[in-house]
Amino acid sequence: DAGVTQSPTHLIKTRGQQVTLRCSPKSGHDTVSWYQQALGQGPQFIFQYYEEEERQRGNFPDRFSGHQFPNYSSELNVNALLLGDSALYLCASSSDRAWNSPLHFGNGTRLTVT
Amino acid sequence: AQSVAQPEDQVNVAEGNPLTVKCTYSVSGNPYLFWYVQYPNRGLQFLLKYITGDNLVKGSYGFEAEFNKSQTSFHLKKPSALVSDSALYFCAVRDFNGGSQGNLIFGKGTKLSVKP
């Protein structure tokens, strides 16, 4: 049973560019959340997708956007990249019916903005 | 607003000794608390959770956590540390303010170093 998978594992971009990160949730999960983990910090919630809609959003600018597909997989898009966007981006999946179950995390995408 | 605090950036323990990683929380309503572990260049792995019930929660890899409502704490413990326990540990609280599923609010993390 595959867990949460993310691609790519590493990415280097230049300031001002745009990036797309991808996530496939654990089998049986229908909810996908994205987190940003800056170096030396805990993960910060970006947003959550359920039924192909953004259900909840953290304190991130509109440059951060996402999408969820009918198969529950998800993308995170970041436009106009800044140096401060360099971080580990984590995808987490869960089941909406099991609200008190733990989130399952992927290994993340390490984004470096130069 | 919900929050968690991990007062120690690093905890050093000798192998075989007991370990404690501290966490305090601030929530409105009932707390839903979690511990996760992160190994280098990896995602977060779930260790244990407190939703309701017994104050002593047992989790993966021999870890346990003690929920203390009066002290608003949820410290992670293990009776006998292993070198392989060396990793980054995160305490988190579930925030239901924004929707039914809620999201996790994480502490800054505590680096655990277990020496042979």
SS3 A92: strand
Give chain A positions within 8 Å (CB) of B104. 35, 43, 45, 92, 103
Examine residue B43 and state whether it is found in any structural domain, yes or no.
Answer: yes
Residue A66: pLDDT band by 50, 70, 90 thresholds? very high
* Domain annotation covers residue B116: no
CB atoms within 10 A of CB A63: 13
- Check: CB of residue A25 under 8 Å from CB of residue A72: yes
Query: Domain of B50: which CATH number?
Result: 2.60.40.10
Residue B105 in any domain: the answer is yes
Whole-number pLDDT of residue B51: 87
Residue B75 within any structural domain of the chain: yes
- Is a pLDDT exceeding 90 seen at residue A100? no
Residue of B nearest to A56 (CA): B98
Please check whether residue B37 lies inside any domain of the structure: yes
Residue A24: which residues within 8 A CB-CB, separation 6 or more?
A2, A4, A5, A6, A72, A73
B39 in a structural domain? yes
- Domain-embedded: residue B9: yes
Best mutation target among A5, A37, A51, A90 (most B Cβ atoms within 10 Å) is: A37
Choose among B49, B98, B99: nearest Cβ to A102: B49
DSSP state of A84: G
The per-residue pLDDT for range A69-84, each reduced to its tens digit, is 999 999 999 999 999 9
The residue range of the domain holding B104 is 3-111
Quote the pLDDT of residue B97. 63
In a domain, B72, yes or no: yes
| Chain-chain contact of A105 with B105 (C-beta, under 8 angstroms) | no
Residues of A with CB under 8 A from a CB of B: 4, 31, 33, 35, 40-45, 48, 50, 55-58, 90, 92, 94, 96, 99-100, 102-108, 110
> For residue B36, what pLDDT is reported?
97
One-letter amino acid identity for B65?
Answer: A
| Sign of the four-CA dihedral A10, A92, B97, B90 | negative
The total of structural domains in chain B comes to 1
pLDDT band at B84 (very low <50, low <70, confident <90, very high): very high
The mean of the pLDDT values for chain A is 94
Domains of chain A: 5-97+104-113 (2.60.40.10)
DSSP structure string for B33-99: EEEEEE-TT--EEEEEEESSS-SEEE-GGG-EEEEETTTTEEEEEESS--GGG-EEEEEEEEE-TTS
What confidence score (pLDDT) does residue A74 get?
98
* Residue B34: predicted pLDDT: 95
Q: Is B44 exposed, middle or buried (0-12, 13-18, 19+ CB in 10 A)?
A: buried
Verify whether the Cβ–Cβ distance A107 to B42 is below 8 Å.
Answer: yes
Q: Report CA dihedral (B84, B90, B96, B99) to the nearest 10 degrees.
A: -80
Torsion sign over Cα A57, A61, A64, A70: positive
Answer yes or no: do B108 and A41 touch at CB < 8 A: yes
| C-alpha separations of A110 from A42, A43, A64, A114, B74 in Å | 15, 13, 16, 13, 30
Instruction: Write the pLDDT tens digit of every residue in B19-29.
Output: 999 999 998 88
